Amino acid sequence: MPAFIQISDPHIVAKGALVCGHSDTATALRTAVASINERLAALGAVDCAIVTGDLTEHGTDEEYQHFAEIMADLALPWLAIPGNHDTHEGMRKAFGGSDWMSKSGPIHWMRDFGPFAVIGLDTLLEGAHHGWLSEEGFAFLDQCLDELNGHPVIVATHHQWLPCGIVPMDQDNLRNGAALMERLERYSGVAKMISGHVHRAITGQIGKVSCLIGPSTAHSVNRDRRDGAVHALAIEPGGVTLHAWLDAPQEMLISDVLPLTLKPAVWPFDGP
């Protein structure tokens, strides 16, 4: 059962610092790493972790080093795409030796998982909160889809196209996501889109394409749809998402949000 774990929006800051003075993102990511390691035996064959952006809060060398130190304890290889809080050169300087890192420009990649493939697309427009896929990005996507020729595919981005109902986040979405979705709608095989950015677990369907926004390992974006609500972070339990291929009872991609806890309390259903 080929699978990967989506880690999203860890927002690592300098050691001892808190995001917005409240969110201890480093402890949250350490908890995520420890929780994943604890569960790996039960989860089955997991190939890697994919970080869907906002590795850091400010894109500094110090923050990327802190992120790398925490991720060094993860018992899986990992790869990443940038989010709006990242920088291309900061990521390239920190992770330039990784096989998924481009030598220059945007950070796009494709990874083969056997029954399916994942295309990682860089939607970072430096200096902006919203996302934008460049012409180079669309060309890379088109090339990958042509090569895959109907093979099941997951497209991973930081910025979402799926509406989430939180107005500021929907305004800062993937602004040219409609053109991406048109390509996936035309694709002859199964296509799924996974994203981050919203810090909440949200699923939806756009045409034939199933879309999933993964939760953050750290804080959430507060869901308050009342008039005049303040755009805010919420300290809520973090999560990661397991994306896996099932062979039976029928072939399909499934996604399972895993809440972050080191020792889940587990008892048999037929116990006392």
Return the pLDDT at 230. Answer: 86
Would 269 be classed as within a structural domain?
no
In the block, which residue shows the tokens 């604890």? 38
Would 11 be classed as within a structural domain?
yes
CA torsion 178→234→62→65, rounded to 10°?
-80
Return the pLDDT at 266. Answer: 64
Task: Say if residues 46 and 76 touch (Cβ distance below 8 Å).
Answer: yes
Q: What is the mean pLDDT of the chain?
A: 94
Return the pLDDT at 270. Answer: 67
Amino acid in position 33: V
pLDDT band at 225 (very low <50, low <70, confident <90, very high): confident
Q: What is the pTM of this model?
A: 0.94
Would 36 be classed as within a structural domain?
yes
Would 271 be classed as within a structural domain?
no
Return the pLDDT at 272. Answer: 62
The domain containing residue 175 runs over which residues? 3-259
- Looking at the structure of the chain, the number of domains it has is 1
Burial of 149 (0-12, 13-18, 19+ CB in 10 A): exposed
Is the pLDDT reported for residue 12 higher than 70?
yes
Structure confidence by residue, pLDDT tens digits, 163-199: 998 888 999 999 999 999 999 999 999 999 999 999 9
Task: Say if residues 84 and 159 touch (Cβ distance below 8 Å).
Answer: yes
Amino acid in position 115: P
Structure confidence by residue, pLDDT tens digits, 17-71: 999 988 999 999 999 999 999 999 999 899 999 999 999 999 999 999 999 999 9
**What average pLDDT does this structure show over 117-135?**
97
CA 98 from centroid of its chain's CA atoms: 18
For residue 22, give both structure tokens: 């409240």
Q: What are φ and ψ of residue 40, in 5° steps? A: -55, -40
Structure confidence by residue, pLDDT tens digits, 207-218: 999 999 999 999
What percent of the chain shows pLDDT beyond 90? Answer: 83
For residue 80, give both structure tokens: 């990443």
Report how far apart, in Å, the C-alpha atoms of 16 and of each of 21, 52, 62, 63, 66 are: 11, 24, 12, 11, 11
Provide the CATH number for the domain around residue 206: 3.60.21.10
pLDDT band at 264 (very low <50, low <70, confident <90, very high): low
How far is it, in rounded angstroms, from Cα 158 to Cα 240?
Answer: 14
Would 20 be classed as within a structural domain?
yes
Would 272 be classed as within a structural domain?
no
Cis status, amide bond into 249, omega within 30 of 0: yes
Would 267 be classed as within a structural domain?
no
Burial of 147 (0-12, 13-18, 19+ CB in 10 A): exposed
Would 265 be classed as within a structural domain?
no
**What average pLDDT does this structure show over 135-156?**
98
